[in-house]
Chain A
């Protein structure tokens, strides 16, 4: 009788381990999938840059400094290996683009160019898309991290070496741009 109870308990614990382990794997894979979605948007964003740089060069040759900043940020973004690096590079690119568009105000011909307008629209849309995929990624990271912190799934996580993932953080400027309501 006692033997059966012991066997039963062992089977139950083994089942629970299995289910918890599988759900942690699912959560981790979701984070990875969400990350690859950010990657898609970042790639799309960086693929628009050379075209933009060329267009601006055609009208505003003297703005070398700004253009170099943009190109540098793009190179950093292409070379980013993890969410942390990508977040930094992407934030750098956002800043560089902002100064580029600010400078472009001084060149009416550039602003009037159809090509430039279209690129500007597409870049602002990819920026929204990066933000959206970042939000989805962070939701999944939160889900995984929660499960790795609450007991008892945290024990299983430790046992099999699951690691908490890093949130994709917004820029300082974006953080400052919070709507305040009274």
Chain B
């Protein structure tokens, strides 16, 4: 091989190197040390022998599957509701009407606001001493604030769901809206002249067109919610809690011996998340192409 060809082949890897190095060192390093700790390599506290004990501990813990289910439920419902609402909003906002630009602007406001701020806002709104509760009392709908349904620090995690919805609906919606606007109305018009009713036009024409947008954003939302610890930590009950919160508590514990368990939980979380995302992608494609 002459030198020119060699240079050509090396150009792309060389150009990518600075970015790749950061990713490999920071992400890969963290991963390796995490995996290492989860299988018993943690020299700081004198652990150096390979073991799957921590995985066994975690998986046989009574609360583990309850937490896994809660984590999955939260992520699944948040993704489902966010996607459905986002598509619904996008379908309305793609039309130009009086005030549609202002509405679209308002719709995007949640995107830059941090989750923690949203969580605080949701507490002020829906807790039993919150605005809504006082409003229902003022309107005579409830007698005392305590009659207002519990939505914060509750087992179903209503406030957690609301926080995620408020944040993620615009995130998915903005992508779907962009796709819808670039697609234009013509495909639907063709379908309509060919006899497709409103539902058929959505199901067979629009949905396949916006599906890639929904898929890629909802996968991000799912992965994010699945691994999020601060919202369930702030707004959820102490037990059962989600896997990320469980891992976080173990990690933060002054007892360093709990660290490998935290890592084992994180690894399981990652594997389950990846498996679910692959399944989700496959299922969604299959359902729409049918």
Q: Do A and B bind each other?
A: no
User: A-contacting residues of B (Cβ < 8 Å)?
Assistant: none
